[in-house]
């Protein structure tokens, strides 16, 4: 069916919108949180369990899948969807984030990036052309341009160089991308610097791409800086194209970004919390290690429809966490992902009903949003 993005409803007060992104593997209703499945798996969950959280689109990572098992092996298995047993839409990151996260074992040049594999020490050369070839072989519905993501501690000169490099790499990605069944999204960089963000948005959005992302946030900067960058950058992206804020998945940050017109989000937070014995309840992270849950036989969240909350008690989850049972991470991750999907659904419903501005912005601890989902 190809790609098409339709805005169905708008908030009369903010820039929030309810939309639908149509992909070859089905629709994605926005605003929508996308679980991260770096290695073609959302850690601890089967794809059936993942679907039950109401997730519609998941992420995988081109760099890590290139290392193991290799894009050719995935392609021989029928592509990423068949390989991981997920029938819905998939987005692959380009490896650009690893330029930041693996800064200690890579060398960045204008031509590309040379990584030393954290698995076996071998040298990995990643260029825009190589990233496109890997993602084309993996076969995701949406693929990301290879970009240079600088850290929040980089000075203005370093961020400017990274932003300029991102722009040139995008041109090379567009030239190398040869699978029309995949939508290539461009990424806006510029760090915390307003003028660099404006320059990057103008340059990246000069290309007629199916969608655009705000990158280079949640890389060590303050929450206030994240909000300021999103408020500046989101309105600069094309109105009729999907807007993706990379690496953000907390309720407050999502609500404020949706108010600026952002549609898509991803973050490792919900499953990482699950693996560390924590659950998202009413926007807070509860540690199930705490003794207060030892004899608490109530559901984790009585309003939540997930398998964990329907079948298990806080006391049982406390027991699993203290016993270091693998099931603890799975059950808590199921709940945490459901929690974020319910929140996105609630934002969408509020946009339809015209109550988004009242219930979700400005976000604070007394927000009535807790009563709407």
- Which residues are known catalytic residues? 93, 266
**Cα–Cα distance between 208 and 123 in angstroms, integer?**
34
Tokens 């006391």 identify what position?
315
DSSP assignment letter at 236:
G
Secondary structure letter of residue 298 according to DSSP = S
Q: Do 244 and 30 contact (CB within 8 A), yes or no?
A: no
CA distance 330 to 304: 16
Long-range Cβ contact pairs of 162-166 (< 8 A, separation 24 or more)? 162/189, 162/191, 163/189, 163/190, 163/191, 163/196, 163/199, 163/200, 165/108, 165/110, 166/96, 166/200, 166/204
Selection from 16, 13, 37 nearest residue 262 by Cα: 16
Among 96, 100, 97, 126, residue whose Cα is nearest residue 111: 126
């Amino acid at each position: 069916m190809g790609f098409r993005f339709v805005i169905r409803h708008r908030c009369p007060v903010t820039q929030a919108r309810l939309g639908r992104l149509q992909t070859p593997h089905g629709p994605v209703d926005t605003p929508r949180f996308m679980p991260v499945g770096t290695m073609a798996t959302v850690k601890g969950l089967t794809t059936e369990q993942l679907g039950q959280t109401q997730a519609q689109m998941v992420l995988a990572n081109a760099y890590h899948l290139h290392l193991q098992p290799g894009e050719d092996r995935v392609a021989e298995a029928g592509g990423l969807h068949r390989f991981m047993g997920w029938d819905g839409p998939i987005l692959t990151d380009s490896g650009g984030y690893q330029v930041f996260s693996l800064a200690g074992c890579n060398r960045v040049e204008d031509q590309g990036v040379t990584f030393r594999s954290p698995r076996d020490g071998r040298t990995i050369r990643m260029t825009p052309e190589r990233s496109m070839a890997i993602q084309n072989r993996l076969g995701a519905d949406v693929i990301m341009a290879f970009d240079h993501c600088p850290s929040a501690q980089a000075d203005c000169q370093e961020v400017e160089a990274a932003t300029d490099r991102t722009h040139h790499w995008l041109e090379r990605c567009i030239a190398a991308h040869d699978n029309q069944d995949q939508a290539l999204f461009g990424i806006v960089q510029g760090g915390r610097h307003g003028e660099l963000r404006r320059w990057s948005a103008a340059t990246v959005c000069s290309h007629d791409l199916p969608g655009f992302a705000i990158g280079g946030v949640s890389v060590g900067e303050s929450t206030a800086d994240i909000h300021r960058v999103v408020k500046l950058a989101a309105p600069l992206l094309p109105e009729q194209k999907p807007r993706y804020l990379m690496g953000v998945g907390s309720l407050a940050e999502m609500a404020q970004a949706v108010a600026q017109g952002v549609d898509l989000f991803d973050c490792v937070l919900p499953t990482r919390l699950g693996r560390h014995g924590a659950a998202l309840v009413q926007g807070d992270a509860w540690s199930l290690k705490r003794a207060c849950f030892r004899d608490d036989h109530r559901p984790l969240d009585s309003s939540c429809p997930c398998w964990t909350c329907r079948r298990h008690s806080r006391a049982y989850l406390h027991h699993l966490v203290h016993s270091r049972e693998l099931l603890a991470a799975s059950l808590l991750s199921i709940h945490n992902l459901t929690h974020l999907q319910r929140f996105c659904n609630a934002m969408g419903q509020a946009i339809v009903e015209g109550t988004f501005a009242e219930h979700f912005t400005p976000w604070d601890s007394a927000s009535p949003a807790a009563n709407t989902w």
